[in-house]
Structure 1
Amino acid sequence: MNRQDDLVAEGEPEKEFNPGIAARLPRKTVAGGALIRDPAGRILFLEPTYKPTLDIPGGIAEYDESPYDACRREVQEEIGLDREIGALLVVDWVPVLGPWTDALAFIFDGGILDDDQLTLDPTEVRTAQFLTLTEATPRLRPSMTRRLALAQQALTTGHPSYADFGRDS
């Protein structure tokens, strides 16, 4: 079955018990990122053009797009690879920060990248490099360092984790 078939199988949406309430409910930002490693286990980090810290391939989901689909789309856009994305490693809740709403950040297993040639999108990515988490930490927000450590742990244990701002709960 595909998503459209699943939606049809759900039947009619329930009626709003208070007309207009759905439009007034809070919205969260949702993002999906890929933990892509080289054969030595180093993580693929991108230097974005639009912020001062390193990031992993991925990005914010568009309207009615799943975090998994957003991850695949963003990986293809940012590094030019149409990759199969693997299992969920971490779901992390991120609180309101400045102008940004609170968010849910999903990290998926992006697998091992051997000799594939990356094609970076110059509007989004300055450079890409494989680094250990320790090497990258000075250029990461502390919450991202914690989130990626949990993702690496999930690769080892085979158990995804839920985190609040990068802290295992």
Structure 2
Amino acid sequence: MSAQHAGDPASFAADVLDEGPPELEYEPGVASRRPTKTSAGGALIRDSTGRVLFVVPTYKAVLDIPGGMTEDDESPKAATVREIREELGLDIALGQLLVVDWTPRNGVWRDCHQFVFDGGVVSDATACDPELEAVVYLTLDEARSRIYPSLHRRLTLAVKALESGSTFYAEFGREV
């Protein structure tokens, strides 16, 4: 499996070739005038008691889940796998997509599509990245005051998706 693409690399390459030559602009500059969205991937990782794994970043005052922003030409799933390897030193085969959430612009951050995947059960994760102070396992109720309200809503939906075998679409953490 490629670090850039979660599927079979040979199939991906064939799919790219099947698309034909790169699309040209009929109206010069039209593509550069389009808004740019960011995307991010994260994993809902639990311990054997069902508590959620949160990372404690050094660069912000709130907890987050393992994962991060996509790089150019990187899928959200590949970004999640890469970030988990960098942050926790773990190679995890992600499970199903649980939530796709759109979040609006927040200060310096653009609006974003956020993908949450099932990261399975890992009871002994540790921080391996200088950007992290530690990791903690908390219930969503315990984490409520230490995470953004939108992340709490998103993770509540992710747990619901995990329990039901569904995938949810949300906007700012609210199912729509």
Q: TM-score, normalised by structure 2?
A: 0.91
Do structure 1's residue 16 and structure 2's residue 25 form an aligned pair? Answer: yes
Structure 1 unaligned spans of 5+: none
Q: 1: CA distance between counterparts of 2:40 and 2:52?
A: 18
1:118 matched to 2:126? The reply is yes
- Asked if structure 2 preserves the Cα contact closer than 8 Å seen for 1:37 and 1:113, the reply is yes
Q: Can you give the 5+ residue segments of structure 2 that lack an aligned partner in the other structure?
A: 1-9
Counterpart among 124, 132, 142 of residue 135 in structure 1: 142
Please give the alpha-carbon distance, in whole angstroms, between the structure 2 residues aligned to 1:148 and 1:161.
11
User: Matches of residues 34-53 of structure 1 in structure 2 within 5 Å?
Assistant: 34-53=43-62
Q: What code does the residue aligned with 2:80 have?
A: C
How well do the aligned residues superpose, as a CA RMSD in angstroms?
1.2
Q: Secondary structure at 1:86's aligned position in 2?
A: coil
* Rounded Cα–Cα distance in structure 2 between residues aligned with 1:124 and 1:89: 26
Q: Percent identity?
A: 53
Equivalent residues, number: 167
5 Å-filtered alignment, 1:28-107, equals: 28-107=37-116
Which amino acid in the other structure matches residue 109 of structure 1?
Answer: D
TM-score (norm 1): 0.94
Structure 1 position 63, deviation (Å): 0.6
1:96-133 CA-partner distances (Å, limit 9, x unpaired): 1111110001000000114x553521x21101011100
- In structure 2, what is the Cα distance between the partners aligned to 1:29 and 1:101? 7
